[in-house]
A and B are shown apart, each in its own frame.
Chain A
Amino acid sequence: EVQVVTSGGGLVQPGRSLRLSCATSGFTLRDYPMTWFRKPPGKGLEWVGFIRSKPYGGTTEYAASVKGRFTISLDESKGIAYLQMDSLKTEDTAVYYCSRSLHGGYPSDYWGQGTLVTVSS
């Protein structure tokens, strides 16, 4: 059974860093792209970025709002995807979701339950 579990959220001050984890099971992480999304309070879903599977180079794409501040990576041995968030801003406050995606990062067929990140002083 495919499972995706997101964790690592919390309260963090502006300018600080936080790393989210996405633990996977039931499939081989290196064979699938992994995508991160977020849902700010009172707003809709937003695409944050994704990492291509290793057979496709393992490269990344990011939304303009997070490019240069957020980094997606994989630990294949542990089956975990990470979202490293640096220089956090108040507008990054959201529930963050990771998902397994198919080729090209679309569609996302299995999602984690989400973890809340609150950026506030």
Chain B
Amino acid sequence: DIQMTQSPSSVSASIGDTITITCRASRDVSTWLAWYQHKPGQAPKLLIYGASILQTGVPSRFSGSGSGTEFTLTINSLQPGDFATYYCQQATSFPLTFGQGTRLEI
């Protein structure tokens, strides 16, 4: 199985800040990488797929980059609704695997 490792596990930030989350894969996943946002009690939400393609309706404050084994999710100008847990997911081979999550806190 491909192991996905996110860092940091948690990050504290303020409204208006910019934060970056890193996701590393145990082997090459090309750009078969998605990012999801998950808030307690809600359905997860697709933010980015193909490592850098913004899902329709997602604000342009969110951006993704990377290929191979190292990826980043950047959120500019943090808004109150951005405080959640973020997961990366690889889709190059089964089982599809997630990183352990990064909790974004105020």
Interface residues of A (CB under 8 A from B): 35, 37, 39, 44-47, 61-64, 97, 99, 104-109, 111-114
**Which of the four size classes fits the interface of chain B?**
20 to 34
Residues of A within 8 A of B36 (CB): 45, 108
For A113, the closest partner residue in chain B by CB is B43
Contact indicator A47/B49 (Cβ below 8 Å): no
For A95, the closest partner residue in chain B by CB is B41
Contact indicator A107/B42 (Cβ below 8 Å): no
Q: How close is B9's CB to chain A, nearest CB, in angstroms? A: 10
Known contacts A45-B101, A104-B91, A97 near B96 by CB under 8 Å: no
For B44, the closest partner residue in chain A by CB is A111
Interface residues in B22-48 by Cβ distance below 8 A to A read 32, 34, 36, 38, 42-46
20 contacts between A and B (CB under 8 A): A37-B44, A44-B87, A44-B98, A44-B99, A45-B89, A45-B98, A47-B96, A63-B95, A106-B34, A107-B34, A107-B46, A107-B49, A107-B55, A107-B89, A111-B43, A111-B44, A111-B46, A112-B43, A113-B43, A114-B43
Residues of A within 8 A of B96 (CB): 35, 47, 105-106
Q: How close is B54's CB to chain A, nearest CB, in angstroms? A: 12
Alpha-carbon distance A57/B94, docked complex (angstroms)? 17
For B42, the closest partner residue in chain A by CB is A113
Contact indicator B99/A47 (Cβ below 8 Å): no
Known contacts A105-B91, A107-B49, A97 near B43 by CB under 8 Å: yes
Known contacts A106-B49, A107-B34, A47 near B43 by CB under 8 Å: no
Contact indicator B94/A111 (Cβ below 8 Å): no
